[in-house]
Amino acid sequence: MKPLSTRQLEVLQATVHHYVDTIEPVGSRTLVQRFGLKASSATVRSAMGALEQRGLLTQPHTSAGRVPSPLGYRHYVDCLLPEPGVAVQHLERELTGLSLRWAALDDLLLQLARRLTDFTGLMSLITRPGGTQAQLEAIRLVSSGDRLLVMLVEDSGRASHLNLRLPHGAEDELKAVERWIDQQLADGGLNWNSLPPHLQRSGDVLRSALDQSSSVTKMEQPTVVHGLSRLLAEPEFQTVQELRPLMELIDERPGALVGEGQQARVWIGDEHPQTALQPCAVVQAPYRCGSDGIGQVALIGPMRMAYATAGAAVQRVARHLEILLG
């Protein structure tokens, strides 16, 4: 493909900036007046026509101005991204003031996700480092009729529960099973091969349920998501139907919203492997936690986003996570 001319690059950049700021299609006269382009309206109009022919701009209505296409945003991110504004320096100072005073890793991740959303107005997402699987800290068993409620507490402070069918006659074993579990966890983990024979009636049911729960949990990294309401408030997503697949993905597999890898990247529209994210853009950056693996910091919003600010924000949060987690 023939490279864009200097004039076309200038017009594409101005069109993206105008649309990000106003959510309005723009015409050549407005671009000249607002951005002080050193060209006539006719010259800019011709450049916009050439950009539209190449698929970088689109005209939503015949009587309207033009807006960037997904391909136009991609060219902008690859070739025309400006330096982030001074506001990112304020975020940098805030992050520098963070200390290690949090109750658990998930608390820190949630704090940072909230700050990212407040700073950018976009939905934020942070995954735990890939190798830091949460460890069970305690298990409590509560019987009710023929049901067994299993309370699971992880070292991160996160709690969950399982609702199981209690084998007939197993209720009398539960206190002894709890004591055995406490001792096992204190020694470093559950060794089911050492379960006493007289506890196996309830123990086998519990073991099977925990194995299934663990296999589901390990399929993806634990993930903190914040700011879905910001995404729903964007003009591009005025009907819930447009975001229903994305909302289901957030509920079921939030870690799938970001890709793996050791490099920062930007996904725009259908570049993302998840079809639920085709109306969106994802800006992400990795962070490393020693030998524990790699986590991801990401912002998700409409394709009409301030990419320079979003990119700088996720990279700074990722860098400070590496510093804090050492």
Q: Where are the beta strands (DSSP E) in 102-158?
A: 123-127, 136-144, 147-154
**pLDDT given for residue 219 in this prediction:** 43
Residues 147, 168 contacting (CB under 8 angstroms) = no
Q: How many CB atoms neighbour CB 234 within 10 A?
A: 19
Rounded-to-integer distance, Cα 2 and Cα 216, Å: 49
Say what the pLDDT of residue 5 is: 96
Q: Tell me the pLDDT tens digit for each residue of 265-299.
A: 999 998 888 889 999 999 999 998 876 688 999 99
- Return the domain boundaries, the chain: 6-79, 87-132+221-325, 136-217
Q: Which residues of the chain have pLDDT under 50?
A: 132, 215-219
For the whole model, what pTM was predicted? Answer: 0.72
Which among 169, 166, 203 is positioned nearest to 184, based on CA atoms?
Answer: 203
Closest CA to 72 of 28, 9, 18, 27: 9
Q: Which CATH number fits domain 87-132+221-325: 3.30.450.40, 2.40.40.20, 3.30.420.310, 3.20.20.80?
A: 3.30.450.40
pLDDT at residue 213 in the model: 65
Considering the domain 6-79 in this protein, what is its CATH number?
Answer: 1.10.10.10
Say which amino acid occupies 85. Answer: G
What size, in residues, is the chain? 326
User: Tell me, what's the pLDDT at 259?
Assistant: 80
Distance CA 177, CA 21 (A): 61
Residue 218's pLDDT is what?
Answer: 46
